[in-house]
Structure 1
Amino acid sequence: MRPLVAHIDLDALRHNYRLACQCAPHSHSVAVIKADAYGHGALDCARALAADASAFAVASLDEALALREGGITVPIVLLEGIFNADELAQVDQHRLWMAVHSAWQVDALLAFSPRAPIPVWVKVDSGMHRLGFAPDTVSAVWQRLSEAPQATALHLMSHFATADAAESRYFHQQMECLQALGDRLDAPLCLANSPATLAWPVAHGAWNRPGIMLYGSNPLETTTTAADTLRPVMTLRSEIIALRDVEAGEPVGYGGRWRAPRRSRIAVVAAGYGDGYDRHAQDGTPVLVNGQRCPLAGKVSMDMLTVDVSDVADATIGSEVVLWGCAANGAVLSVDEVARGCDTISYTLLTGVLPRVPRRYHGAFG
């Protein structure tokens, strides 16, 4: 079997969730585990968090049903609501909570007869301009739902476009809009994503929605004391499968993009874009070999990548290679730093690890 494995540290996951709660002690924190828990395995992560999490959030009904079928009884929020009216029967049957962002969803809900009222989060477009009701239409939507027997536990929710910035006038504009709406309707708020949970206490509401921070990635442009204590949950670990020496000026990999600046030792590692490691990684993107930082050397291939290990005296066949996460010697390579080397963000790297890569879970479930 190939040595490439995604190791998932469930203790780190719980640590990060509890950190989110500590950042906003007067809020509930819904653990966002959409997109298969950002590539970490939604059911396994939900089981690990079930004793702590006040609720889970997913993107769609099928993600919620997989959790219910796996034995998860904690409340689950559908962040995009239903995609057609027929889904309401299962929302009702499985006691799900739902967002509404469009008039047709409200109409469908009010034409439905649930066995029990459904908790509803009304999404406001406060400036992201994706989903949600325009602020000047929210009062009418809120009134319809508050008078309807089909809905209960109404909240206002929205999403920030620039909460990751150290300072953002646009963030404050969104907050002013949402605070005014919340005051006018006397509505509980659900606003804070990961960056706002970490850095913007003003956005902490009745509920917060930590997502990427649960998995140990810092979503902020800078950092905070809390962000510095996040622990990586996924370690993508492989091994050296071949070594070769190349002379100065010799190319390595497709297109010969990288050329040896001196006589160099090149390690071939069992990992590639066929596993989800980003093909756009530039020469110099960091890798840990036996816990020592080394630069990527050459284009990533489907099943392999190459690393300059000239300065790692003990590199040999079978040596540990960490693409991101924690090495055996305690060294840590942040997925955020790797993402910068790939001109992308941690979200795409974590969600991009393909099913071909086995997940191995460490730490007790629950």
Structure 2
Amino acid sequence: MRPARALIDLDALRHNYRLAREVSGARALAVVKADAYGHGALRCAQALANEVNGFAVACIEEALALRDAGIEQPILLLEGFFEADELALIERHRLWCVVHATWQIEAIERAALSQPLTIFLKLDSGMHRVGLHPSEYRTAHQRLLSSGKVEKIVLMSHFSRADELDCPRSQEQVAVFNQARADLRAEVSLRNSPAILGWPQLFPEQTANDWVRPGIMLYGATPFEQPLELAGRLQPVMTLESKVISVRELPAGEPVGYGARFISDRPTRVGVVAMGYADGYPRHAPTGTPVFIDGQPSRLIGRVSMDMLTVDLTDLPQAGLGSRVELWGRNVLASDVAASAETIPYQLFCNLRRVQMLYSGG
């Protein structure tokens, strides 16, 4: 059997969720959209079910898959509904729903519902993706309350640059949010992973009744390019690994792989690893991207191909056929691989496919 596999540590997942609760002082919706960022939404939700305040997913299909598997905790639809007829399913399955547009408010007003909804009312505070304009926000809030179709409204927005610790945009967005909500008395949901970890000073008035939305931090990866003390407390949940399936002894001056992107500058032992871009490893990861081989640091060499990549065994005389190769995990942080490949750990995790998923920790 092909040795490429992803080891998922559910104890680390729970640790990271508890860290989000601890440092925010608020309730936390565990974001398990996109198959829990490639970690397996159902297994992750089951692992968190006994302690989580709720879950967040992108769309109703993801929510219904969790409900069908027996997940009973609150589930928030982060993109809301796309068609008015989804409201019947939202009601039936007791889903919470983001409202970010006037047409959604109109659909709720027209809907024949037997029980009121929990709504997260989203403000566009500067992301300029989805959300109500600040001038519409109070009116939208009042319309939902007056409709008789809503039990609770949580005030919500989303940060565009909270992963940039030297950027004032987050402060500006908080100011827009505070002005738009003015005297509205309601629970608040503002903080995503970078805001939880990197911007505690922005939310001194937040309370234990408010909501945070840990996403990438839940899976143990930092959203920041620079080191941060709190991010250092995260535990990687996924270890992506495979094995050396072939060894080549090359003299100096020999090319390796497609395009001759690497040419040996000394006698080189090359290990071929069963892992490639069809598994989700980034094709553009350059020579020098870190790997761990039998617990020792080494590097990627040459171009990543569909099913295989090559690593440098020259300084690891004990490594060879069958050696274990960690592509990312506790020894090789996904954020370091992402930085080397000029991408982000979110994409590394979400692109994962074809590898066997093995779970530990319940």
TM-score normalised by length of structure 2 = 0.97
- Bigger shift: residues 246-255 or 108-117: 108-117
User: 1:51 Cα shift?
Assistant: 0.8
Within 2, Cα distance between the matches of 1:151 and 1:310?
A: 65
What letter is aligned with 1:288?
A: F
Q: Is the 8 A contact 2:313 2:320 kept in 1?
A: no
Partner of 2:241: 237
- Structure 1 gap ranges (5+): 327-331
Cα distance in 2 between the residues matched to 1:221 and 1:282: 18
Letter in 2 for 1:317: L
Instruction: Tell me if the contact between 2:193 and 2:214 (Cα under 8 Å) persists in the aligned partners.
Output: yes
Query: What is residue 333 of structure 2 aligned with on the other side?
Result: 334
**In structure 2, what is the equivalent of residue 156 of structure 1?**
155
**What does residue 17 of structure 1 align with?**
17
Separation in 1, partners of 2:181, 2:138: 10
Corresponding position of 2:4: 4
Contact 2:125/2:176 (<8 A) preserved: yes
Q: Is the 8 A contact 1:121 1:155 kept in 2?
A: yes
Q: State the partner residue of 2:323.
A: 319
Q: 1:183 Cα deviation (Å)?
A: 3.4
- Alpha-carbon offset, residue 170 of structure 1: 1.3
What are the superposed Cα offsets for residues 52-81 of structure 1, whole Å, 9 maximum, x if unpaired? 110100000000000000110000000010
SS, match of residue 56 in structure 2 = strand
The alpha carbon displacement at 1:189 in A equals: 1.3
> Structure 1 residue 187: deviation in Å?
3.0
Identity across aligned pairs (percent)?
Answer: 49
C-alpha distance in 1 between matches for 2:96 and 2:290: 42
Structure 2: distance between partners of 1:71 and 1:282: 43
| Contact 2:254–2:263 under 8 Å retained in 1 | yes
Aligned to 2:36: 37
Deviation at 1:280, TM superposition (A): 0.8
The alignment status of 1:219 with 2:223, answered yes or no, reads: yes
Q: Report the AA paired with residue 251 of structure 2.
A: E
Label 1:110 to 1:119 Cα distance change in 2 as closer, same or farther (>3 A): same
CA distance, structure 1, for counterparts of residue 8 and residue 215 of structure 2: 16
SS in 2 for 1:126: coil
1:275 aligns to what? 279
Name the CA distance, whole Å, in 2 between partners of 1:44 and 1:110: 37
* Aligned residue in 1 for 2:360: 362
Count of residue pairs brought into register by the alignment: 357
Deviation at 1:164, TM superposition (A): 1.0
Structure 1 window deviating more from structure 2 (173-182 vs 142-151): it is 173-182
SS of 1:89's equivalent in the other structure is helix
Q: Give the SS at the match of 1:279.
A: coil
Q: Secondary structure at the match of 2:277?
A: coil
Tell me if the contact between 2:135 and 2:180 (Cα under 8 Å) persists in the aligned partners.
no
Structure 2 counterpart of 1:239, which letter?
K
Question: Aligned match of 2:250 in 220, 239, 246?
Answer: 246
Counterpart of 2:134? 135
Tell me what 2:77 maps to: 78
Paired letter, 2:13: L
The alignment partner of 1:274 has SS state of helix
- Residue 143 of structure 1: SS of its match in structure 2? helix
1:31-50 deviation per Cα after TM superposition (whole angstroms, max 9, x unaligned): 00000000000000000000
Give the equivalent residue in structure 1 for 2:263: 259
| Cα contact 1:182–1:189 (8 A) shared by 2 | no
What secondary structure does 1:184 align onto? coil
SS of the counterpart of 2:85? helix
- The alpha carbon displacement at 1:186 in A equals 2.2
Q: Distance in 2 between matches of 1:265 and 1:223?
A: 34
For 1:11 and 1:178, how far apart are their aligned partners in 2?
A: 36
Structure 1 distance, partners of 2:225, 2:298, is: 25
User: Deviation of residue 307 (structure 1)?
Assistant: 0.5
* 1:289 maps to amino acid: I
For 2:178 and 2:297, the matched residues in 1 are separated by 47
In the alignment, what sits opposite 1:329?
none
Answer yes or no: is 1:200 the counterpart of 2:204: no
Question: Which residue does the alignment assign to 2:177?
Answer: 178
Deviations 1:330-354, CA, capped at 9 Å, x for gaps: xx11000000111100000000001
Q: Is the 8 A contact 2:291 2:332 kept in 1?
A: yes
Deviates more, 1:218-227 or 1:5-14: 218-227
**Do the aligned residues in 1 keep the contact of 2:138 with 2:181 (CA within 8 Å)?**
no
